[in-house]
């Protein structure tokens, strides 16, 4: 019952009206044009569902409500898998979001599985953008912090900064997150010169 309540609060209350036309029986079309229009309409509905679920999950994570974020992110994963396939690079941001939410709830083993899935997809995608690789390294860095492996965290966050710089430029706001998390690590290690330098950069 508690899981159903969490699920309802998280996402089903927002998408119930969108689910019926997507999951219900599809109409039978008699012409090729009608079939094509029907497929396009179904795709638009699925994309709308994904957008609502993903936005909802992200909002919960930002609010620190990690448990509530998971059902919404799982719905986004489900429908995006249907649209793009289970090995699509389009799934990586959702796996990273699920990993962050799972880490926030203390389920580090589950978070590691989501990160492994994201990492596998990126490795299987030779033309994967530097921006997405940067997000993957940030996710791995934050997970390493949660595990208490600060050296590994610094390695991943340095890669995050390098890849974000390659994609967006040295002084872009996208680079600041990696610097910020690195600064926090140096601060906790009492390496104040390095921490202050990175905070200034942010």
pLDDT at residue 42 greater than cutoff 70: no
Note the pTM of the prediction, 2 decimals: 0.81
pLDDT score recorded for residue 16 = 53
In order of their start, the domains of the chain are 1-127 (1.25.40), 129-201 (1.25.40)
- Percent over 90 (pLDDT), the chain: 63
What is the rounded distance in angstroms from the CA atom of residue 159 to the CA atom of residue 65?
Answer: 28
pLDDT at residue 36 greater than cutoff 80: no
What is the rounded distance in angstroms from the CA atom of residue 98 to the CA atom of residue 168?
Answer: 25
Q: pLDDT, tens digit, for every residue of 177-188?
A: 999 999 999 999
């Amino acid at each position: 019952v508690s899981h159903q309540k969490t699920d309802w609060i998280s996402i089903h209350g927002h998408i119930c009206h969108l689910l019926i036309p997507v999951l219900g029986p599809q109409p039978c079309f008699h012409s090729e044009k009608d079939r094509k229009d029907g497929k396009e309409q179904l795709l638009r509905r699925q994309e709308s569902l994904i957008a609502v679920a993903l936005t909802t999950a992200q909002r919960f994570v930002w609010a620190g409500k990690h448990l509530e974020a998971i059902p919404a992110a799982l719905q986004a994963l489900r429908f995006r898998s249907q649209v793009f396939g289970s090995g699509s690079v389009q799934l990586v941001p959702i796996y990273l979001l699920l990993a962050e939410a799972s880490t926030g709830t203390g389920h580090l083993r589950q978070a590691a599985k989501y990160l492994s899935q994201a990492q596998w997809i990126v490795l299987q995608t030779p033309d994967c953008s530097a921006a997405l690789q940067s997000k993957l390294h940030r996710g791995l860095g934050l997970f390493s912090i949660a595990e208490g492996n600060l050296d590994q965290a610094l390695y991943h966050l340095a890669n995050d900064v390098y890849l974000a710089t390659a994609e967006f430029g040295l002084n872009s706001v996208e680079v600041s997150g990696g610097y910020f998390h690195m600064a926090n690590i140096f601060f906790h290690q009492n390496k104040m010169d390095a921490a202050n330098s990175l905070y200034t950069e942010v």
